[in-house]
Amino acid sequence: MSRTSPTEGDRHATLASIGRDGARVSLAILLSRITGFIRDMLIAHRFGTGPMADLFYVAYRIPNMLRELFAEGALSSAFIPSLTKTLKNEGREEAERLYAGVFLLLSVILLPVVLVGMVMAPEILALLAPGWTIDPKREALGVLMTRIMFPFLYFISLSALLMGVLNVQKRFFLPAVSPVAFSLLLIVATLLPGDLFSFPPILLLSAGVLLGGIAQWGAVLLLAPKDGIRLRPSASLRAAWHNPRVRGVFSRILPAIGGLWVTQGNLLVATLMGSYLATGTIAALYYAMRLVQFPLGIIGAAVATVILPLLSLHAKEGEGPQEKLAETLAHGYRASLFLMLPASAGLVALREPLIDLLFRHGHFGAKSAELTSTALMGYALGLWSFAGVRIIVRAFYAMGDMKTPVRAALAGLLTNLAISLLLARSEGIVALAIGISLGSIVNQGLLVGALKHRLGRIPREIFRGAPILLLHSLLMFAAVRLLWLALSSHLAFDKTLPLAGAVLGLILLGGVIYGGLTWVSGITESRLLANRILRIIQRKKR
């Protein structure tokens, strides 16, 4: 009987840890994504990709973008490594003091931002969609929607702060499932009959965004375990500012915001350029991105969430464990690549039936479906890279390097801008989506090069087997695509249930084909996944 070497054992333990925690986060994100899709299906059914939908998504763009800057991106990236180190070295009391100080200063910063955003709503709307010729009524409605939604930023940021506290304590499920509360409020807002009120129904969606942000924070606050790090806001503003750990968090937030501003700039470029194209372009880009975000959230975001506390621990343990940091990053990246490549292939292979099933109802007609399908193909080109960037930047944040991701993201933005300016008028919506994908690929390439310079080498495991994974994904794509074309040419899927059955069956078939190919090829992730499934089946039999 062969013995496993300590190094190999450590690798399997790291993979198992990432897989175990990642599976919990993936399950929670799956639940939130399902409710999110129900929400988007209802919005698509009621508003389609018409002018009101475009107006809503433009008005929602700024608070949603700031949410990712202050909340899910910069705040988590700066706060989690610092809290991890404080909890390990100084204990729970100092960790709670850090949490309270960041909470207080964050509130002092965000409240003026919210007020300024509400006051400058007309300028924001004009900046985001200069290609529109907006009549006074429509402009007034967009301004009102922007003002209603802006306070959402404050509550979602407080939610993200608490989610970071829970993640540091390896409590991943509740933070990842909390967006369900947000989606439920929007679902209620969408279902309310418009004739109950004297104002346009689209305003209900804006109110739903604000109330959903409050509900998401409240859900995490009420359901968080009582035995962990608690918020004890007893410190004064002066004490919080003079706490070196608190100031350290905010000193890292600013560069992180810079990097994320550049990343979010890609979506702003698409919104700005889309305002010059056909009506419905902005809404179609949103719906296509929602499809992309399903696997991206379940896989990429899950791995990125569980890997940051691990990387933060390794980065704080001295020179030797930098090797461990590199290996952990490699395992996380490969786990993502193993799943994201077939997800990209599957989205392209089943783009029409997926869009018809999820969105093509009510006011979402054939033109809306065609626009969304075209955008989806462009996004799918870079799906694996969207996830890869999320994971690799975590290594820089764990090491306290906030500037390198900014430079890499800026290069990606310039790439996107160049492609959009050159091709948008001739190629339309697909150029905007491809620009974002190629910008992300450039971003990731520069991050990998910088990581090699920082660590001295890139672990071979990070790209090992990538060509084989790509080949198997393409074979799976060919099988699923050909089978769908054959089915759709002989059968009329004009009802939801048969279409849902066909889509689900083809997804399962694609998974079996890809899983079988990677297992026969000896891919480590495939073998570990198969063994885990077998153990679950055996436990159920007992």
Q: What is the pLDDT of residue 415?
A: 93
Map residue 199 onto helix, strand or coil: coil
CA neighbor of 377 nearest in space, from 299, 439, 436: 436
As given in the structure block, the two tokens for residue 240 are: 């919080």
Q: What is the pLDDT of residue 46?
A: 83
The Cα–Cα gap between 75 and 243 comes to 17
Sign of CA dihedral 317, 323, 329, 334: negative
Rg (CA), the chain: 23
Q: How far is CA 350 from its chain centroid?
A: 21
CB 378 within 8 A of CB 401: no
Q: Give pLDDT, residue 133.
A: 47
Alpha carbon distance 221, 161 (integer Å):
11
Q: What is the dihedral sign for C-alpha 399, 403, 407, 413? A: positive
Q: Specify the pLDDT at position 428.
A: 84
- In this prediction, residue 233 carries a pLDDT of 64
Which tokens belong to 422? 């050159």
Residue-wise DSSP of 183-212? HHHHHHHHHS-GGGSSS-THHHHHHHHHHH
Residues of the chain with pLDDT under 70: 1-26, 49, 66-74, 129-135, 194-196, 233-235, 254-264, 300-302, 304-310, 312-322, 457-461, 532-542
Q: What is the three-state SS of 473-504?
A: HHHHHHHHHHHHHHHHHHCCCCCHHHHHHHHH
